[in-house]
Amino acid sequence: MACWPNTLSETENFFKKELNVNNSPSFNKGIIKEEYSLWRMEPFKWWVLEKELNFPNELGTSLDMSHSFTCINIFGDNATLLLNRHLPIDLRENKFPTASSASSAIHHVSIKLLKISNNNYYLLIPRGFGLSIWEILLETAKQFGYEIK
């Protein structure tokens, strides 16, 4: 969902009311609930996962991007170490705490990284590159041992 610059405060109020949250997340942060999550991906753009909202046209626009991305859930004791083999992001807890997000690249492919909890991440990849990035991650994960669920 994207708002117009002049509707930013109304959009934040919309999220507070519709999602029953105290505040809209700040840039590159999220709010994680059991039923859904809300992520501020850009100054005027939010991603809502696992929930449909009727976003008013006068506030901005919305687009269903569920068919645009492949989501890989990477979790376990070595998840952060695995991701650090490919991402130039400081993933230590004091720099990238739970409910943080980042845009980066793996092998020149733009990705979005969402930190759900300690050693638990969602890696969102453009659908056309999903298989190739998956294979790269599997090759790297061999050194840690891995289980596909």
pLDDT tens, 38-86? Answer: 999 999 999 999 999 999 999 999 999 999 999 999 999 999 999 999 9
Global confidence as pTM: 0.93
The boundaries of the domain holding residue 126 are: 69-141
What is the token pair recorded at 133? 């990035």
Give the long-range contacts of residues 100-105, CB within 8 A, separation 24 or more: 100/28, 100/29, 100/30, 101/28, 101/29, 101/30, 101/39, 101/40, 101/41, 102/28, 103/41
Verify that 126 and 73 share a domain, yes or no.
yes
Residue 149 within a domain: no
Considering the domain architecture, whether residues 121 and 75 belong to the same structural domain is answered as yes
Domain co-membership, 57 together with 85: no
Look up residue 61 and give its DSSP letter. E
Residue 132 within any structural domain of the chain: yes
Average per-residue pLDDT in the chain?
Answer: 96
Sign of the C-alpha dihedral, residues 91, 96, 99, 105? negative
Task: Judge whether residue 37 has pLDDT over 90.
Answer: yes
At 67, the amino acid letter reads H
